[in-house]
Chains A and B, each alone.
Chain A
């Protein structure tokens, strides 16, 4: 069954085109997981996260200075190559300045009928952010209504919120099963579930997640079965399935992650409020933060260490997209916090493609060190 999630992810463009054909709906590409998808979905839109292609490219050289992160360049490359030529529109919920460039260059160079920049607050710990974002969501909703010609009712928003919350609940329930000594699904499989949810119609995704959950609870789905070393992945965007597959082939279970492509995407739900947009705003402001929005207090640290405890993590891999300043600022503090909990960590810098051979040697060394700690 996990193969379906994998296929959705690996053939995401085909899925979106097919969805477009069968529903005659609009597909809206978004660049950062702070995008309020509930509003789009309430208007019958399929929100699709724009991701990279993990292939060397030079298309973006004239557009983005090479000291910006490989992820933003890879995303733009997909647009310039035409991989996302089916998108009816694009939107950015204000992200780090790196990813903004993928959006703004796309806005300039790739003809698209709908382009929306939502100035999402960075000061999510400042109380005025709730009122401000609620107001921005109202403007966004109006813009979506104008674009689609459909009025978004409270009922439609309620339905959308419920579909999205259900998706989050199901993913969390499945992820919770990975706390077990023998996780029923591998880190790679879990990655397919989380990634595919960012590009597949949530109602459809939910139906399959429910079936999978039942199977997992019944113990009829075999994971990779080993439980040698329990690893956690932490850091920037990571949809590098090749890397994850390689790590797990070394006798490790990736039992949990803290990526915007993983748990940060779905960890918290929309709590009902009379004002639906205020409720949605609160959900995004209170979610496990991206480091670019995690200040002045460090809310990521207690969240990460709690996850590490809950999932019995023995070691953590700190993954950072090359040149990502917000994550680079956090890495020393995360390593320190984990060390204080007795959890060793290891830093890896990711590019569009990762040097699988050298990374394999480094991961083997890290895992050997972790096993050594168990032995002695």
Chain B
């Protein structure tokens, strides 16, 4: 494909972009200042079952570990200090890089947004990837024994979910609620938890619907921008503010589709990536754009939080929420069962039981999102999302999908070679028959 004029699709900034930034900033500020208002600070991963903690009240503020660690990683100077502090304490250099950034921040007593690290009051975590609860085990110890409860989610793929497996989660959640009350001395309010579950379902389904709008050509959003939007679900998906924001965003993205507004005006080649990108080097997406290549998402950005289901026409769409299905929670057990089922269907939870599940989803996305290829980040920083990635590559190639891989690390810049990654992009683009656009620069 020869060089082509830049900007053949109209594009414009997202109107709600600044609002997304404000919500994120407010989230971290609310966490930091929670004690000033008599509230509590707690920690959990981006997959923690946070709606349960909402049952303790609206003033329990969560700090989700992974996005916070990514924030550290984005600040290269701070990240280098944190990584070195963790390694000096004996934590191996090949451990999850989010873990090392986070632990390093605690050891240095540094908060990514300035000042000392605001200590957690309690930890309410989950375990799916082997690193998730082990991470908090170390955090708890380093901070002098923060009380901790963790729910084991590893009951197999959603396709094989049965009553026993679901009940295992529900039983742990029931115990978790007792633990939360005992640990905080607060009384649990089921109604508040129901609202949080509704919000969680609304956030994650609406985000999925937004992702599905990227099936359109041109894609109304590009992956790099989506990273700044999906993150809200990783922070606070059970909050009303995030659920409401996604509905506002959905309306705006629908409007972009109706008016043919592109995320990237030069779109002529569509790819997706998988696993987290190297956060300190998001310019890689800009480099792709010099070829008119747009990443329209990733299974990661779609499915880490977004929740999907197969629609009657056989395509992927947003999972039907309890509100849409007319379901009203009448008791705790019913709500917990629903919440367990909702979470267990998350796309990014499936590959922990075999690469076939992820390959199947990647192939579906390749078809429905009209892709020309897939870029897989062999991410040395995250075992959990890199599990099975080599088999995903084989599965895609066998199905005739062009695949590019590059090796890096989402949160340890010492393990990412930018010029080498660019060279890989050059070769991949050449294979796809693309030349750099005239006058394009990253």
Contacts and interface: CB of A to CB of B under 8 A. Distances in A.
A135 B168 CA distance: 10
Interface in B32-88: none
A311 to B, nearest CB: 25
A121 B386 contact: no
A67 B386 contact: yes
Given A97-B130, A126-B151, A126-B172, A65 B390 contact: yes
Contacts of B95: 325, 328-329
Nearest to B138: A329
Contacts of A322: 94
B129 to A, nearest CB: 7
A346 to B, nearest CB: 13
B131 A325 contact: yes
A128 B150 CA distance: 13
A296 B94 contact: no
B138 A108 contact: no
A101 interface: yes
Contacts of A131: 168, 171
A42 interface: no
Contacts of B353: 100, 104, 117, 119
Given A65-B390, A100-B387, A129-B152, A332 B352 contact: no
Contacts of A288: none
B94 A63 contact: no
A127 B131 contact: no
Given A67-B386, A104-B355, A121 B156 contact: no
B127 A127 contact: no
Interface residues of B, number: 51
Contact of B137 (A94, A295, A323): A295
Given A68-B383, A322-B94, A329-B135, A104 B152 contact: no
B92 A291 contact: no
A331 B90 contact: yes
A128 B175 contact: yes
A328 B355 contact: no
B50 to A, nearest CB: 18
A221 interface: no
Interface string B380-400: 100110111111011000000
A295 B127 contact: yes
A41 B386 CA distance: 35
B155 interface: yes
Contacts of A122: 127, 130, 133, 152, 154
Contact of A328 (B94, B127, B380, B394): B94
B391 A63 contact: yes
B194 interface: no
B383 A325 contact: yes
A298 interface: yes
A195 to B, nearest CB: 24
Contacts of A107: 354
B172 A128 contact: yes
A67 B380 contact: yes
A333 interface: yes
Contacts of A296: 133, 136-137, 140, 148-150
B378 interface: yes
Interface in A75-132: 94, 96-98, 100-101, 104-105, 107-108, 117, 119, 121-123, 126-129, 131-132
B268 interface: no
Given A128-B171, A325-B95, A329-B137, A105 B391 contact: yes
Contacts of A328: 91-92, 94-95
A326 interface: yes
Contact of B388 (A101, A126, A323, A326): A101
Nearest to A325: B131
A36 B424 CA distance: 46
B96 A325 contact: yes
A163 interface: no
A111 to B, nearest CB: 16
Contacts of B22: none
Given A64-B390, A97-B383, A325 B130 contact: yes
A210 interface: no
Contacts of A185: none
A56 interface: no
B141 A333 contact: yes
- Which A-B residue pairs are the 9 nearest by beta carbons? A123-B152, A332-B90, A128-B171, A132-B168, A119-B156, A329-B134, A328-B92, A135-B164, A104-B354
Interface of B: 89-92, 94-96, 127, 129-131, 133-138, 140-141, 148-152, 154-156, 164-165, 167-168, 171-172, 175, 352-356, 378, 380, 383-384, 386-391, 393-394
Given A63-B394, A67-B94, 15 more contacts: A62-B390, A64-B390, A96-B130, A98-B383, A101-B391, A117-B353, A119-B155, A121-B168, A123-B150, A123-B151, A128-B172, A131-B168, A295-B134, A326-B130, A328-B92
Interface of A: 61-65, 67-68, 94, 96-98, 100-101, 104-105, 107-108, 117, 119, 121-123, 126-129, 131-132, 135-136, 291-292, 295-296, 298, 320, 322-323, 325-326, 328-333, 335
7 contacts: A65-B386, A121-B154, A122-B127, A126-B152, A128-B171, A128-B175, A296-B150
